[in-house]
Amino acid sequence: MLFHVRMDVRIPHDLDPEVRADLVAREKAYAQEVQRSGRWPHLWRVVGEYANVSVFDVESNDALHDLLSGLPLFPYMDMTVTPLATHPSDIDA
């Protein structure tokens, strides 16, 4: 199942810099691991914002929830999830 997910990151400005650096490093490592597994095939930065737009390819809603809630920055994110379906005019479908 494909999902479009927008993630807006809102790390508190008063968070300890060492804690922030650790969170960001763990987030990057986790995101790269999920991408290598094929479950996160597309990841784009939103220009001028601390946000991204991603496409996930997972087997279920629960699998997506588990993946997203495993992100170290999850407590500091607002997310919008949209399930995707094949478009009838897609020439590759």
In a domain, 73, yes or no: yes
CATH number of residue 40's parent domain: 3.30.70.1060
Q: Which domain holds residue 68?
A: 2-84
In a domain, 91, yes or no: no
How much is the average pLDDT of 71-76? 98
Residue type, 68: L
Residue 93: band (very low, low, confident or very high) from pLDDT cuts 50, 70, 90: confident
Could you please report the per-residue DSSP string of 13-55?
A: TTS-HHHHHHHHHHHHHHHHHHHHTTS--EEEEPTTSSEEEEE
Q: Are 40 and 31 in contact (CB under 8 A)?
A: yes
Number of folded domains that form the chain: 1
In a domain, 63, yes or no: yes
Return the pLDDT at 37: 98
Residue 71: band (very low, low, confident or very high) from pLDDT cuts 50, 70, 90: very high
In a domain, 47, yes or no: yes
What is the pTM (predicted TM-score) of this model?
Answer: 0.92
